[in-house]
Chain A
């Protein structure tokens, strides 16, 4: 136990990858074994991250559970792990969603060995981003996560998967190119990749680089960072890969994509952009807020216009993640004020909440798709009497997504809006207008969510699904087991958010 207590983070981080290597040596035909093994293997990091959560000292500043190992000494990079309140909540989200996604994939019967291996590798990749406090290692994990996701979409996706997976890959890699160059620049300047050192020095750096004033370089590097993360969030207008990737990905892939991968982008904003570029972030906060509001409004409109259920949910991610960026932009405007803290609290909680509700929504879309083999909203209708339990769960999760008070989405969106509006009133009036427009976007959130529910559950029943071989079957026990933990957390955060906000707030107060 001693080893685990001193190597808690690295154990959580590498356990899935090692489990994946073990799966490699399991016999190919034993599909059940692969599934159960992967499930158990992903539950262990979850259990360990609960240990992490309860041993985490919220009152202490800085990173905890730090571990440091030499990695690429020649260029000053080391495997430096650590968590603070911000990363801790994301680590918990990741380890919580991965077993659910694996359980959700129990219906996969095609090359389960490779599938489960990719899923576990993906988990290591995502956790690495949240845990590393070394810029190069951050980038390493950032890119590594792409590979399993690409293959999950490309191999187990639906009809248009080739196009979607390549688009996903090229968009994200292309977006990261600027990040790669900026990271190299930082490494060359400071001879180290340690995030704490770089943060302390780069935010006040003023020397010219290659004859070009530092300000220019910093602005360009700022946008390089922003674009890399904005593609992942995804922020309007860099979001176009997302509906395709989501729609074509297998159900569990969409769950993780929406639940965790999008958070990587938002996490990058919080962990790197705000601390590294406080001045630039403040200067360009208006632009960020504009893009965020555009994402909220256009995301909602686009979502409303969809006839494909999965695309509808996919665009809702653009809409919801817009609030995260709105909160970040508000905080960048007025760093250090209470309004900014409220907005950041909201943004981080929104990341967590969207992880829960989006994963739930994508899973529910997957449940009905598996039975009907269509996602076309026009072909559903009036299914409530046929599948009452499914209908209830769908409505519950949709309400969380819509932001109904009492469920989690309300808390975080309220905080973001309250913070942003506060910044608008107290510091930058423009922010008040942005917030007001975002509120209009929220109206359309209600509209598209209700449209989704109406088209699937209500209205005249489509008789096609009522009888004979097409008769729609009720959600099964395994699927309910996937949904229950999500619903419990949704309700719990909605009714009593203090347990998680406490951790987040302390981190926000200490960080920004």
Chain B
């Protein structure tokens, strides 16, 4: 038995959360140090997993299996493939940077980051992170669901307690209801799969590797694909069920927005792919046109709505809808290039949007406004944040040389192979995105500093800078050297294609 790296990654944040809750509340910096240490630990392990994943061998690696409830066929079955390993890394990165930017500045004039009950904040955040890791590494459907709910639930508290005072109750409630309804719908589908699998094979098992070969009938798949896929895809922000997401983003505190857009939305897309497409491949083929339509609308509509926003956070929230639409678009192609692009886009968008929310949070903490017309001149005050935002913007526009291009290009190529018209329509979003990103950068970072803000807005902390640099390096690294990530994702895609019948 090798070192059980995946369960260590998954349970590190949860254990850290427990330790933090046991620490005295006034030991604020010590709590933060524990948070940072465990985040760093999880990050290092996820980097290790990423780089020691054997791409030649492909398949599921670092597999661990422990019985949990054998009577019902539930086991703690972990493993990563080329699709989930980048997402594990992404979670590690967002967790690490999220802690860095939440550290903040205790100076009462600045009060950036999380200064209100950091102990509880980090504990909930880490519970969430543990759940996210769990979903990405679970090979057992029950466990996937289990971790999925663990990841969703702390969001409610994080937003309702530490969120933006104006809308936090509303947004937290809306988010939770949306996501629970989505997951209940999926759960029904999952249970249907479980029972049919039992009927077909006589084995009670939630194991996805077993279910893959359960031989669900075409009719069954046609009926159950949509509920299962869409139920999870709600969390992926798919149009027309995206509407909770920008509200949630806006109300959430910075680190939670980073997690929410950076990782949680991937959770939805990933679960939809893993459970929906991989276990019900025939159903996926049947309904891919509908997913493609929804995704195509999301891409253009999301970009357009982002264009008309005046609140920076809403703008980024809707841009996430647009970019997650691209992920769904890639998934809906069910071909090699499209799925590869979707996999890379999940990572790319996760890093990019985490950066966006981090910078927006830094600005909001200091200027106490996120309204684009009320801001200006941030480039002089916080040059690091400005450059970070610009790089993120270029990624968002799909500018070549950055990870966004590496991800979006194959998605579009995949769509070309299925339905060229969708590619043409979706491409409009590129220009709209360029317009809103450029206009935002110009106003917020380069326009003159409004008098109201003069004097009391200061530069960001060193930890903030570390977070920004980490995220920027990832985006340019993958943009310049696609070989760092694409072959990895491709091995995961091969597996999906095999289930789809070698399409």
Q: A residues touching B (Cβ–Cβ < 8 Å)?
A: 70-75, 136, 139-141, 143-144, 147, 150, 154-155, 162, 166, 169-170, 173-174, 177, 180-181, 184-185, 187-188, 209-210
Contact = CB atoms under 8 A, between A and B. Distances in A.
B442 A170 contact: no
Given A143-B399, A144-B399, A147-B399, A166 B430 contact: no
A181 B401 contact: no
Given A140-B400, A140-B401, A162-B442, A170 B413 contact: no
Contacts of B413: 75, 184, 187-188
Contacts of B438: 150, 166, 169-170
B75 interface: no
B400 A74 contact: no
A121 to B, nearest CB: 10
Interface in B420-454: 420, 423-424, 427-428, 430-431, 434-435, 438-439, 442, 446
30 contacts: A71-B482, A72-B482, A72-B483, A73-B483, A73-B486, A73-B487, A74-B482, A74-B486, A74-B487, A74-B490, A75-B413, A143-B399, A144-B400, A147-B394, A150-B438, A166-B435, A166-B442, A169-B438, A170-B431, A170-B434, A170-B438, A177-B428, A177-B431, A180-B427, A181-B424, A184-B413, A185-B416, A188-B413, A188-B416, A210-B419
Contact of B431 (A75, A162, A173, A187): A173
A399 B430 CA distance: 43
A139 B400 contact: yes
B405 interface: yes
- Among B409, B417, B439, the one with the most A-chain Cβ atoms within 10 Å of its Cβ is B409
Contacts of A73: 483, 486-487
Contacts of A74: 337, 340, 410, 482, 486-487, 490
Nearest to B394: A147
Contacts of A188: 337, 413, 416-417
B435 A170 contact: yes
Contacts of A136: 409
B400 A143 contact: yes
- In order of increasing CB-CB distance, the 3 nearest A-B pairs are A140-B400, A74-B486, A188-B416
A144 B401 contact: yes
Given A147-B399, A177-B428, 4 more contacts: A70-B483, A74-B482, A177-B431, A187-B413
A76 to B, nearest CB: 10
B412 interface: yes
A188 B333 CA distance: 13
A173 B430 contact: yes
Contact of A154 (B412, B420, B446, B483): B446
Please classify the interface of chain A as helix (H, G, I), strand (E, B), loop, or mixed, using the class held by over half of its residues. helix
Interface residues of B, number: 34
Contact of B406 (A70, A72, A155, A166): A72
Contact of A181 (B423, B442, B446): B423
Contacts of B401: 140, 144
Interface string B480-498: 0011001100100000000
- Among A166, A185, A188, A210, the one with the most B-chain Cβ atoms within 10 Å of its Cβ is A188
Nearest to B418: A210
Contacts of B427: 177, 180-181
Nearest to A151: B390
B451 to A, nearest CB: 20
A403 to B, nearest CB: 38
A140 B394 CA distance: 13
- Among A74, A154, A170, the one with the most B-chain Cβ atoms within 10 Å of its Cβ is A74
Nearest to A175: B431
A209 B400 CA distance: 27
Contacts of B410: 74-75
Nearest to A28: B383
A139 B408 CA distance: 14
Given A144-B400, A181-B423, A184-B423, A173 B434 contact: yes
- Among A73, A170, A180, the one with the most B-chain Cβ atoms within 10 Å of its Cβ is A180
Contacts of B482: 71-72, 74
A387 to B, nearest CB: 35
Contacts of B442: 154, 162, 166
B420 A177 contact: no
Contact of A210 (B409, B420, B483): B420
B412 to A, nearest CB: 5
Contacts of A170: 431, 434-435, 438
Contacts of A181: 412, 423-424, 427
A439 to B, nearest CB: 39
A169 B434 contact: yes
Nearest to A146: B399
B409 A75 contact: yes
Given A144-B401, A177-B427, A181-B424, A75 B337 contact: yes
B391 to A, nearest CB: 10
B405 A185 contact: no
A174 B406 CA distance: 19
Contacts of A169: 434, 438
A133 B442 CA distance: 35
A174 B427 CA distance: 10
B376 to A, nearest CB: 12
